[in-house]
Chains A and B, each alone.
Chain A
Amino acid sequence: MLRITGGKVYDPANGIDGEVRDLFVSEGKFVASAEEGRTIDATGMIVFPGGVDVHTHVAGGAINFARAMTPEDHRRTQAFIRSQSRRSGIGGMAPTTFATGYLYAGMGWTTVNEAAVPVLSARHTHEELSDIPIVDKSTLTLMANNEIMLDLMEKGEYERAKNVVAWYIWAAKSYGVKAVNPGGVAAWKWGKDAKQLTSPIEGFTRLTPGDIISQLARICHELGLPHPLHLHCNNLGAPGNISTTLDTLNHLDGHRAHIAHSQYHAYGGDDWDEMRSETAQLAEYFNTHPNVTTDAGAVLFGDTVTITADGPWQHLLYKLTGRKWGNLDVENETGCGIVPYTYRPSNLVNAIQWSVGLELLLLIKNPWQVFLSTDHPNGGCFWRYPEIIQLLMCADFRTECLKKLPDKIKERITLPELTREYTLYEIATSMSAGPARALGLHHKGNLGLGCDADIVIYEEDKDVARMFGHPRYVIKGGEVVIEEGDIRATPDGHEYISRPHYAPDTDEFLRPLFEDCYTMQFENYPVEMERIEKPAIHDCVPNS
């Protein structure tokens, strides 16, 4: 049992905005009162629900490839020294699994959603996740370039496709559906991309990216998945892609969706020289469509490694940087590209990207719709989130930062005109309550009775980045895991898994299709439940 007394509590899920309240915890949940156990005197401190990362890449084939590609970064970055009971690790651009848990918990984040898992390597991803301590986890399955799925959609077999999506989610023991560059990754198998939502995809006769988007959004809704379609739009990173993004949103036909890392999808201009921010248009869409949420995918200046299933984009980035490039193909499901990258304030394109991420966070009015993310590690590393919080809370600091950008940027961005400053309540919404709700994790990001006791306690500090970077206490499931900068405990987290309904004949339907094109046995394909450490299963109720 645990009591936290006297703290100023920010709990947007329950409309509590900085009231002094006591919190009581028993068996990992909030309760109405607790008599025994430790008391943390949080007088004068700030109490938040633990952070929830709606979109990150922390486990699986791609990030693991990135680790192997960047020994030079491991050498210069933070090392977590072994203790008798705690494993060692390395932080940096692509942290090791143990370090990932330490770093997330170290800044008060207690739930993470690994946003891109091919079914074929889901077993691998779960193995890695079980080595990420402290935080709770969920995964999204890549579905928008799976050849079996695309064939079904091309043939107009919607109901079949829906069953197959459900079957895949359960086979991968995942939580929801991710679509990356719909059709574009499939086209990349031919060295091509899919840039037009209404043009047939390479290798198909009728099917277009737009069809995939419409159908997957509807499927996610009808299956009753806790999280709607999680969508990485076509034309990521390309100047002028705002039209594609808005077109994509129109293909949702009113269904809910989460638009991943929208920073990369809000550019105007016809080429790199003309590139400009088009955040006003995109924000306007969100401000008038409460059915969609997004995460910023904000960019921070400095070194990182970019990893995405968006293979064609990564090849372009490799050609632009002339540095290292990793390219993975995952049979007929998806692929992945990996390119180390440095965002520089002196680079006009990078400077625009930096601005666009912040503009979206500031222009989308409702913090329940736009969440803190860097699309780790693509726009920057997750452990730099406190820097973004500082940029959101301090307009003066933004003005200082803007001075370091090229002069030419002024007519390309709108950030200098934005005076909004996030309140603590809005930060708590954007980093915790909002993403938890978007993920359908109602017991997360919520300090209400019966919810998971994931809490972060800060000492008030004028230096916002320092305050959010160094919480005084982090409590996970009622256990103090971080105290004054020390890792006190490294409990195993839960893994959230969805069980959507599918027709019983789906196995027999899939088997011949599978045997036609896969290199492994159908029976060996689904991930066994015994492999999941501490699974928490969500049984989906279908919507008609």
Chain B
Amino acid sequence: MTLTVVNNATCTFCGCVCDDIELHADETRILKAKKACVLGTAWFLNHTVERKYPDALIDGKEATLDEAIEAAATHLHAADMPLVYGMSNTTCEAQRECVALADLLGGLLDSHTSL
């Protein structure tokens, strides 16, 4: 079991986005999040990279990633007024893709801010 230490890691739990966290991790989970607050610690320690979930679900049934991507594309492409929503707990890189997706679809685009 190898132990990795990541210095100056960034916590995305709340809007403070503290970037001074020292993470100690083995291969499946983060064991320690130094300098993080209680909320940040819980956030880091609660995630694991175990395969807890199937890669994808279609109508609640397990599916492959490829199948799910094709199904998603088909439904979104067929819609007259598709909606792209959320984008809080994700990276800017994914957000840029989401805006591009809504632009490509001619759909609606919205984030948590509108709540």
Any A–B CB pair closer than 8 Å: yes
Q: What is A's interface to B at a CB cutoff of 8 Å? A: 82, 87-88, 127, 131, 520-521, 523-524
The answer to the question of B88 belonging to the interface, with a C-beta cut-off of 8 Å to chain A, is: no
Inter-chain residue pair count (beta carbon < 8 A):
17
Given contacts A127-B92, A520-B19, contact A82 B8 (CB under 8 A): no
A-B contact pairs, 14 of them (CB 8 A): A82-B103, A82-B104, A82-B106, A87-B100, A87-B103, A127-B92, A131-B96, A520-B19, A521-B19, A521-B20, A523-B7, A523-B8, A524-B10, A524-B19
Are the CB atoms of B103 and A524 closer together than 8 Å? no
The 8 tightest CB contacts between A and B, nearest first, are A521-B8, A523-B8, A524-B19, A521-B19, A521-B20, A520-B19, A88-B103, A524-B8
Neighbouring B residues of A87 by C-beta, 8 Å: 100, 103
Given A131-B96, A524-B19, 11 more pairs with CB closer than 8 A: A82-B103, A82-B104, A87-B100, A127-B92, A520-B19, A521-B8, A521-B19, A521-B20, A523-B7, A523-B8, A524-B10
Q: How far is B20's CA from A520's CA once the two chains are assembled, in angstroms? A: 7
Interface residues of B, dominant DSSP: mixed
Among B7, B92, B103, max chain A CB count under 10 A is at: B103
Q: How far is B103's CA from A87's CA once the two chains are assembled, in angstroms? A: 7
Kindly state the interface size class of chain B when it binds its partner.
10 to 19
The closest CB in chain A to the CB of B21 belongs to A521
Neighbouring A residues of B10 by C-beta, 8 Å: 524
Q: How far is B20's CA from A521's CA once the two chains are assembled, in angstroms? A: 6
A299 smallest CB distance to B (angstroms): 34
The closest CB in chain B to the CB of A123 belongs to B92
Q: How far is B109's CA from A87's CA once the two chains are assembled, in angstroms? A: 15
Q: How far is B8's CA from A521's CA once the two chains are assembled, in angstroms? A: 7
The closest CB in chain A to the CB of B100 belongs to A87
The closest CB in chain B to the CB of A522 belongs to B8
Neighbouring B residues of A131 by C-beta, 8 Å: 96
Q: Mask for B38-72, Cβ within 8 A of A = 1, else 0? A: 00000000000000000000000000000000000
Q: How far is B6's CA from A523's CA once the two chains are assembled, in angstroms? A: 12
The closest CB in chain A to the CB of B17 belongs to A520
Q: How far is B21's CA from A520's CA once the two chains are assembled, in angstroms? A: 11
Q: How far is B92's CA from A88's CA once the two chains are assembled, in angstroms? A: 19
Neighbouring A residues of B8 by C-beta, 8 Å: 521, 523-524
B29 smallest CB distance to A (angstroms): 24
The closest CB in chain A to the CB of B16 belongs to A519
Neighbouring A residues of B106 by C-beta, 8 Å: 82
Q: How far is B10's CA from A127's CA once the two chains are assembled, in angstroms? A: 19
Neighbouring A residues of B20 by C-beta, 8 Å: 521
B8 smallest CB distance to A (angstroms): 4
Neighbouring A residues of B104 by C-beta, 8 Å: 82
Q: How far is B76's CA from A59's CA once the two chains are assembled, in angstroms? A: 32
The closest CB in chain A to the CB of B20 belongs to A521
- Within residues 90 to 115 of chain B, which ones have a CB less than 8 A from any CB in chain A? 92, 96, 100, 103-104, 106
B78 smallest CB distance to A (angstroms): 17
